[in-house]
Structure 1
Amino acid sequence: MHQSWTPPQNYRNRPVVILGAGVLGRRIGCIWASAGFDVRLRDPSDQQREDGLAYIRENVASYAKGSEDRIGTAQAFERIEDALADAWLVIEAVPEKIQLKIDTFAQLDIQAPNDCILASNSSSYRSSEMLEKVSESTRKRILNMHYYMPPQCMVVELMTDGYTEEGIFSFLVERCKEGNTLPFIARKESTGFIFNRLWAAVKRETLSILAEGVSVPEEIDTLWTEMFINGRSTPCKMMDQVGLDTVAFIESHYVQERGISSENTVDYLTQNYIKHGKLGTKSSQGGLYPPVKSQTTDDSENSPLIVLDLGLSAASPTMTSGSVLELSTDGKHMKTLVENQSLPDGVAVDPHTNRVFWTNMGIPGKNDGSVLVFDRQENTTKELVSKSSINTPKQLALDTVANKIYFCDREGLSVYRCNFDGSQLEKIVQAGNPNDSKEAADARNWCVGITVAPKLGKFYWTQKGPSKSGQGRIFSANISLPADQSLASRTDIECIIDGLPEPIDLEIDETSCFLYWTDRGEIPYGNSLNRLQLDKSGNAFHTSTGDTHNFKVLSRHFNEAIGLKLDTKNNTIYVTDLGGNIYRCDLNGENKSVLHFDKLRAFTGIAF
């Protein structure tokens, strides 16, 4: 009788061992430490061990996504036998040399605890290829466990070695989720796992297109961006939309022209779908996906907008007549959430709790700015960063991965961040000395707009320059301060683009690497909505002359454009201006319309 698999005893109090402290090994270790497990890095190199531990210390809090109280410890070992003592999970991340991996698992077979799960991070080799020197009983505890490149990509793929106990997969899926990773299980052994096989096919056909002279790299990448990134198409859903019978017809032509097998394409579709009437979205039987009874738009389309009114266009304006407002997405219904605010400017909403965070500028030039939060469920307002701590806080953005608030301080010539509860307030950019009258008066040092890109590991901010001057700039820096550098000495700050009329608020679409901003400067480029394509690492594209002025003006003719919010899932951008307008348009700037207008309002920040 088959006996069900039992998890490693007392695994919560036993270490996770990573063999190899290189770029990926240390990141895997960081994931498990962020989930509360004690981690041991094993590497024969002193430098790799030292660098691996440093990486975990500096980054584990951001991996933990607000659960810093459960973070585990990290140690490094030179001898593998010392690292393996009492381990419940071992993940090998040694160089991709098959004989090295065979010998590693032979050693693990002998030295690892007999209930320890043994995993290979290899993407090139199946774990079944590493079993040459492994006993029959140990093979049941071995599998592939392939990570990509956290924290930008938190996917992990699990795959059997052909003998792996079934219960191990459900157990590891739950443990992986504790480390904020997204696990996928390959149903059977496959060289290259799931994603790598997808990428292999795309890569192979792309190279064929280039080799045959059908297209050029720039056109291929642009098509891919428009179809699969901006268009948000996915392979299986796209085939369902085209129709599986049409897909089979097209594939039949390729089969004939190229002389390839139809087994895994036309024959597979015909036998499993088409002959059963499963043709895709046009069929009541569905297709690759089950039939969908009703199609609805993304929930964000029906979520109310949160907007800030500066208060200075009111019938009887004062320095404390600002408001936090809620607006229905049809623009017809507005209600006040919080009133009597001192020049509110930047706003963001935590999607997990619906709490509303915003900044109050106070009186510019005085240290009386503040950051506040409104709890919609409890109907309470709390000051997170108190007056006297900051000067003139402007736009605000949330890092919901690390639970951090980012905001600019205009007259403070700086960028700050803090925890969602206001603790650990830290200055992360100092653009000038606010105590030097000349530097303080130089608007080129005034930090205004802010956005954060956790997947790219960067944040971006604007320094607007004097009004209508054409001296505005956008900068970026790493979320993690470079090792051995300070606020004053950090070298990772990059000017993304300069020579702008007067850039204000920022938003980034991390999927497409498009950076958007509003500009309240002089026409023809001011009072506009703009977009700049960044590279896949979130850096600026530079021409041979170093020029980055290849941005696109998406829309113009705003009235002192300020606030900006992207709704990429619904192909929508919202923009506010000081003239009392709230606009919306498509992501490409087309179909611009006024959603709401009130001449007694001056709208600044916007969120949903």
Structure 2
Amino acid sequence: MAPTLSSIKDRTVAVLGGGVLGRRIACTWAAGGWNVMIRDPSSEQRNAALHYIENNVSSYASSMGTKPGKAQAIEDLAEAVKDAWTVIEAVPEKLSLKIDTFAELEKLAPKDAILVSNSSSYKSSEMLEKVGKDTRRRILNTHYMMPPDNRIVELMTDGETDEDIFPFYVERLKEVGLHPIVAQKESTGFVFNRVWASIKRECLMILGEGVSTPEQLDAVWMEMFGGKAGPCAMMDSVGLDTVEFIEEHYVKERGLPTENTVDFLKKNYISQGKLGAKSGKGGLYPPGHTTKTTGEDKSHHENLHAPTLYMLDIGLNTLPDPIHSGRVVVGAPDGREIRTLVSGQILPDGLDISLMSGRIYWTNMGIPTANDGMVQSCKLDGSDVKTIIPAGAVHTPKQLIVDQENEKLYFCDREGLRVMRCNLDGSQHETIVKTGDWKNEKDAADQLNWCVGISVNKKEGKFYWTQKGLSKGGKGRIFRANIKMPQGEDEATRTDIEIVLSGLPEPIDLEVDEDTQTLFWTDRGDPPMGNSLNSLKLSTSKGLKAGEENPKYDILARQLHEAIGLKLDQVNKHIYLTDLGGAVYRCGMDGKDKKKVYDEECTFSGIGLAHI
């Protein structure tokens, strides 16, 4: 028997899984006014899911005119489902996991809760072996496409589902802006999915037989049927491993051939880690093909794996108080309106994100002559601002980077003439390089000692930093040293410091691509060498000795306006750059195809990103 409106009032919607689709399902119900509980065992996924909803729930709700509900994300399954009127399973596509999930839900969820699977490849009847007869009557499939752009939801019985549930659930789906379709009987795949599976299969056979290319095939498709993305681009966006997994299910049930479908994908793509847009190695198309910037044609498939961008606005364009007008802001590669997360900062400069801790970290330079800089942190929504390193413990902190694996912050101290690191909570704060004594007038006056940019290369066991020298002075240098301090030495006496490059116009921020062992950096010096993005293959860098010339490095992009921040997007193989002229750029890892994402009346410094 279906529940009633009165029986579900003030109860929650539970979503099991905070991944790409799970968080969109949760956001849809929250936008419709329901309080949503997201359960995911990964703290990183929980943080990302909540931040996705924070950033998008208003736009989801705008078309419905509703007041959004609240979303929470927790690890404990029992707590997540205890008050739910419906539980939506969006866990990984492993049948054994889904069987066990429904067995747990039978014990933990309310006895009248509607339990649904979002599986696109398994029938819900395959998930019932550990649940009783009464529970089977309230289990069904509700397969969501990709809200908010595609709002179709297909409903299907498990073969024993109470028929009264369907009209009740259809109305609830309509109320949150979705377009439900009810299958008349159970089958492998849904109504549209079966048609789409046939299209994918034939497209793969065309490619596997060498008849055509992804570009040609998609071009023909869009010419014939319209749209902004063809089947190959859409398969890349979903993930070729997912495409292969779903096709395997049809193969087993129908005895289909595999040579130019499953086998073709495994041999040419999946075995090489080329899973599509999410892998950073590309798929049927090169990496980054499905990520678009402002003004480019894009479909709802194309920004699924685009990052959220976090920038620092120093505030120098803000009158009457430019010193105290710095902001932490958030945006996206599609150029959506920038939102302010934290304001009132004193010349913020370097920024990075940890999804593991669910926090943003940034430096405030403070007044350069006052020794009042600090390192701060907040949650991804801008709340819970904390001081990690207090004023006086660092002089003028500049660029900052999170060592995600070891949960460490590295940052440079410009007028403090130091490179520092600490734990994410600020404990174990230590100086790892000291270029002089900032209290010594002579040392403090020598700008060649100023440390600015910072990066970590864990594979090499080293960290890199810039000492920019005089403004536009042509005496900038990039250094490196071992992450582990040499035994018996300290920050002032360590002997493992090497000069990587010297005589640079004015190097600022830098980052290492550990996959290719390539060093990237911005330079705000004068053209033609400065105001540029640059790179160096570390295999060509053995460390400079006195009188030696720099190894050959590449200038990848020019015409930046006082270049500052740099961040690598390893998923899409893009580089994001900021400058003091108020621009955020995106380009390829080779510097080509440079596009302006933002052009604002502000002064951008540090930039970070997260895939949420």
Q: Deviations over 1:308-346 (max 9, x none)?
A: 000001243431100000012211221011000000000
Residue 318 (structure 1) aligned with residue 322 (structure 2): yes
**Closer, same or farther: CA 300–439 of 1 in aligned 2, 3 Å:** farther
2:599 corresponding residue in structure 1: 597
1:500 corresponding residue in structure 2: 504
Q: Which amino acid aligns with 2:537?
A: Q
Q: Considering Cα pairs closer than 8 Å and 6+ residues apart, tell me whether 1 or 2 has the greater RCO.
A: 2
Residue 531 (structure 1) aligned with residue 539 (structure 2): no
1:309 corresponding residue in structure 2: 313
Question: By how many angstroms is 1:480 displaced?
Answer: 0.3
Q: Deviations over 1:561-598 (max 9, x none)?
A: 00000113212110000011111111100011111011
Residue 409 (structure 1) aligned with residue 410 (structure 2): no
CA distance in 1, matches of 2:514, 2:441: 38
**Closer, same or farther: CA 524–295 of 1 in aligned 2, 3 Å:** closer
Residue 277 (structure 1) aligned with residue 257 (structure 2): yes
Preserved CA contact (<8 Å) 2:277 2:571 = no
CA distance in 2, matches of 1:549, 1:290: 37
Q: Which amino acid aligns with 1:554?
A: L
CA distance in 2, matches of 1:439, 1:462: 17
Residue 474 (structure 1) aligned with residue 478 (structure 2): yes
Question: By how many angstroms is 1:279 displaced?
Answer: 3.3
**Which of 554, 559, 569 is matched with 1:557 structurally?**
559
Q: Which amino acid aligns with 1:534?
A: L
CA distance in 1, matches of 2:270, 2:487: 50
Unmatched 5+ stretches in structure 1 = 1-239, 247-271
1:570 corresponding residue in structure 2: 572
Q: Which amino acid aligns with 1:520?
A: R
Q: Which amino acid aligns with 2:583?
A: N
CA distance in 1, matches of 2:437, 2:545: 33
Preserved CA contact (<8 Å) 2:313 2:326 = yes
2:441 corresponding residue in structure 1: 437
1:381 corresponding residue in structure 2: 385
What secondary structure is seen at the aligned counterpart in 1 of 2:317? Answer: coil
Q: Deviations over 1:362-394 (max 9, x none)?
A: 000221000011112682110010011111000
CA distance in 1, matches of 2:462, 2:206: 38
CA distance in 1, matches of 2:561, 2:379: 32
Correspondences of 1:63-78 after superposition (within 5 Å): none
What secondary structure is seen at the aligned counterpart in 2 of 1:583? Answer: strand
Preserved CA contact (<8 Å) 2:498 2:543 = no
Q: Which amino acid aligns with 1:606?
A: I
CA distance in 2, matches of 1:366, 1:241: 68
**Which of 331, 334, 343 is matched with 1:327 structurally?**
331
Preserved CA contact (<8 Å) 2:365 2:395 = yes
1:464 corresponding residue in structure 2: 468
Q: Deviations over 1:91-142 (max 9, x none)?
A: xxxxxxxxxxxxxxxxxxxxxxxxxxxxxxxxxxxxxxxxxxxxxxxxxxxx
Question: By how many angstroms is 1:300 displaced?
Answer: 8.2
**Closer, same or farther: CA 496–318 of 1 in aligned 2, 3 Å:** same
**Closer, same or farther: CA 280–321 of 1 in aligned 2, 3 Å:** farther
Question: By how many angstroms is 1:486 displaced?
Answer: 1.9
Q: Which amino acid aligns with 1:535?
A: S
Question: By how many angstroms is 1:398 displaced?
Answer: 1.0
Q: Deviations over 1:267-300 (max 9, x none)?
A: xxxxx99x9732355x6985448899x9554688
What secondary structure is seen at the aligned counterpart in 2 of 1:319? Answer: helix
**Closer, same or farther: CA 386–511 of 1 in aligned 2, 3 Å:** same
Preserved CA contact (<8 Å) 1:535 1:541 = no
CA distance in 1, matches of 2:507, 2:558: 13
CA distance in 2, matches of 1:543, 1:367: 34
2:345 corresponding residue in structure 1: 341
Question: By how many angstroms is 1:460 displaced?
Answer: 0.4
Preserved CA contact (<8 Å) 1:417 1:426 = yes
**Closer, same or farther: CA 378–449 of 1 in aligned 2, 3 Å:** closer
Preserved CA contact (<8 Å) 1:401 1:454 = no
Alignment root-mean-square deviation, CA:
3.2
1:587 corresponding residue in structure 2: 589
Q: Which amino acid aligns with 2:579?
A: D
Residue 515 (structure 1) aligned with residue 495 (structure 2): no
1:606 corresponding residue in structure 2: 607
1:484 corresponding residue in structure 2: 488
Q: Deviations over 1:21-80 (max 9, x none)?
A: xxxxxxxxxxxxxxxxxxxxxxxxxxxxxxxxxxxxxxxxxxxxxxxxxxxxxxxxxxxx
1:393 corresponding residue in structure 2: 397
Q: Which amino acid aligns with 2:403?
A: D
**Closer, same or farther: CA 278–556 of 1 in aligned 2, 3 Å:** same
What secondary structure is seen at the aligned counterpart in 2 of 1:486? Answer: coil
**Closer, same or farther: CA 474–355 of 1 in aligned 2, 3 Å:** same
Question: By how many angstroms is 1:430 displaced?
Answer: 0.5
Residue 453 (structure 1) aligned with residue 457 (structure 2): yes
What secondary structure is seen at the aligned counterpart in 2 of 1:389? Answer: coil
**Which of 366, 377, 383 is matched with 2:370 structurally?**
366
Q: After TM superposition, which residue ranges in structure 1, 4 or more long, deviate above 3 angstroms?
A: 240-246, 283-292, 294-301, 539-546
Question: By how many angstroms is 1:559 displaced?
Answer: 0.6
Unmatched 5+ stretches in structure 2 = 1-203, 211-250, 280-302
Preserved CA contact (<8 Å) 1:504 1:520 = yes
**Closer, same or farther: CA 241–517 of 1 in aligned 2, 3 Å:** farther
1:352 corresponding residue in structure 2: 356
Question: By how many angstroms is 1:435 displaced?
Answer: 1.6
Q: Which amino acid aligns with 2:258?
A: K
Q: Which amino acid aligns with 1:508?
A: V
What secondary structure is seen at the aligned counterpart in 1 of 2:568? Answer: strand
Q: Deviations over 1:398-442 (max 9, x none)?
A: 112221100000000110101100011100000112122122111
2:549 corresponding residue in structure 1: 547
What secondary structure is seen at the aligned counterpart in 2 of 1:518? Answer: strand
CA distance in 2, matches of 1:522, 1:490: 33
